[in-house]
């Protein structure tokens, strides 16, 4: 893996927002909400990086920062050797042909006033204006077939489709430009379990066929295990652990990761009944006032005095795993 060059390198990216309380005085200073606070990783061609963590930990903000939908405060976002944070709007427009996104709510991400042919073909009309209407129609119909939609549906509107079909439409729209990277922001969380499996298998098949790299954001660690090569665990805007799939699930090094994995249901009723669930004590701290040192220390069963005093960074635990925990 280290001999290859990554197509995307994220280095110490921070996304902060200035927030003012609704009941504050006009002269009250704004507080800083640290949604993403120093995240780094590499992504390689054809690889899937899973991103997991509790709600509010910064997963979606990180995804939007990569696309400059939420501009990063600092850090580097290097795409194919070029730092995008130093690029112009024209540079970003060119990059968006290669990086596409699938959103969480399949129906809300589609324009209800456009039919399916118009929705899927819109990226071509924006980024490939030289194509004729007939060529756009041909490519749209071909992409519909790839994602399991019948050509006869091309003139229908989003409200006429199920959630799973709407997500297939979103996938077709993301793939129509033949990108190198797709960011999937919880693409199956709003779907039934059986439909989730269909969408995951569809993404894996398309990845193999088109050589796609994926960033797959989800809460469900069982789903992430099925699709990912490596997994990034986030908590309160920080990295807790970054590891290859089998290393993370077989021998998690961070206490937060172990707590997340203990909550995964086991299909065997006897094993499920007898398993030990690590329930985290206390509430998630505010990202406007995170704990010093390790941000997880206020809920960590292994926390020591040094955890609140030392700077926490990812360090190598094994050839397949990195952790931010000082105790490993």
Q: What is the per-residue pLDDT across 189-244, written as a single tens digit (0 to 9) for each?
A: 877 888 888 889 999 999 999 999 999 999 888 889 889 999 999 999 999 999 99
Q: Which two tokens stand for residue 77?
A: 């976002």
At residue 128, the pLDDT reads: 92
At residue 1, the pLDDT reads: 44
Q: What is the pLDDT of residues 122-158, one digit of tens each?
A: 999 999 999 999 999 999 999 999 999 999 999 999 9
Q: What predicted TM-score, i.e. pTM, was given to this entire model? A: 0.90
74-79 and 181-185 beta bridge pairing: unpaired
At residue 266, the pLDDT reads: 73
Highest average pLDDT, of 21-25, 35-39, 218-222, comes from 35-39
Band the pLDDT of 61: cuts 50, 70, 90. Answer: very high
Q: Which two tokens stand for residue 74?
A: 């600092």
At residue 276, the pLDDT reads: 73
Q: How many helices (H) and strands (E) does the chain have?
A: 10, 12
Q: Greater confidence, 311 or 297?
A: 297
The arithmetic mean of pLDDT across residues 277-285, rounded, is 81
- Indicate if the pLDDT at residue 10 is higher than 60: yes
The pLDDT mean for the chain works out to 89
Spatial CA neighbour of 259 closest among 311, 312, 296, 313: 296
The sign of the CA dihedral 79, 320, 226, 264 is: negative
Spatial CA neighbour of 79 closest among 47, 29, 128, 44: 44
**DSSP helix, strand, coil percent of the chain (3-state; round to 5):** 35, 20, 45
255: Cβ contacts below 8 Å, ≥ 6 apart: 278, 296, 300, 301, 302, 325
Residue listed under structure tokens 């379990």:
193
- Indicate if the pLDDT at residue 307 is higher than 60: yes
Q: How far apart are CA 119 and CA 113, in angstroms?
A: 9
Give 188-191 contacts, CB < 8 A, sequence gap 24+: 188/218, 188/220, 188/223, 189/104, 189/218, 189/219, 189/220, 190/104, 190/105, 190/106, 190/163, 191/106, 191/163, 191/164, 191/167
Q: Greater confidence, 272 or 171?
A: 171
Q: Which two tokens stand for residue 275?
A: 């398993």
Residue listed under structure tokens 């042919």:
117
DSSP character for 111? -
Please check whether residue 300 is in contact with residue 255, taking contact to mean a CB–CB distance below 8 angstroms. Answer: yes
């Amino acid at each position: 893996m280290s001999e290859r060059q990554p197509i995307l390198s994220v280095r110490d990216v921070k996304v902060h927002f200035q927030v003012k309380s609704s009941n504050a005085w006009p002269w009250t200073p704004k507080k800083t909400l640290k949604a993403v606070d120093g995240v780094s990783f590499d992504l390689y061609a054809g690889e899937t990086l899973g991103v997991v963590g509790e709600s509010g930990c910064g997963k979606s903000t990180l995804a939007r920062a990569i696309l400059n939908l939420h501009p990063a405060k600092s850090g580097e976002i290097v795409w194919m050797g070029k730092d995008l944070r130093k690029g112009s709007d024209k540079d970003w427009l060119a990059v968006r042909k290669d990086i596409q996104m699938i959103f969480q709510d399949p129906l809300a991400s589609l324009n209800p006033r456009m039919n399916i042919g118009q929705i899927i073909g819109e990226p071509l009309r924006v980024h490939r204006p030289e194509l004729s209407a007939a060529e756009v129609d041909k490519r749209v119909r071909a992409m519909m077939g790839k994602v399991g939609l019948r050509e006869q549906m091309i003139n229908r509107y989003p409200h006429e489709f199920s959630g799973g079909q709407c997500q297939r439409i979103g996938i077709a729209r993301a793939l129509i430009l033949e990108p190198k990277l797709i960011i999937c922001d919880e693409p199956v969380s709003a779907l039934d379990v059986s439909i989730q499996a269909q969408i995951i298998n569809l993404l894996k098949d398309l990845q193999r066929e088109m050589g796609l790299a994926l960033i797959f954001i989800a809460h469900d660690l069982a789903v992430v295990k099925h699709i990912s090569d490596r997994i990034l665990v986030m908590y309160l805007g920080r990295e807790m652990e970054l590891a290859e799939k089998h290393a993370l699930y077989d021998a998690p090094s961070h206490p937060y990761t172990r707590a997340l994995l203990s909550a995964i249901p086991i299909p065997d009723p006897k094993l499920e009944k007898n398993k030990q669930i690590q329930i985290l004590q206390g509430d998630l701290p505010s990202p406007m006032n995170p704990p010093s040192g390790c941000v997880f220390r206020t809920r960590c069963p292994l926390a020591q005095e040094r955890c609140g005093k030392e700077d926490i960074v990812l360090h190598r635990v094994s050839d397949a795993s990195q952790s931010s925990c000082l105790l490993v």
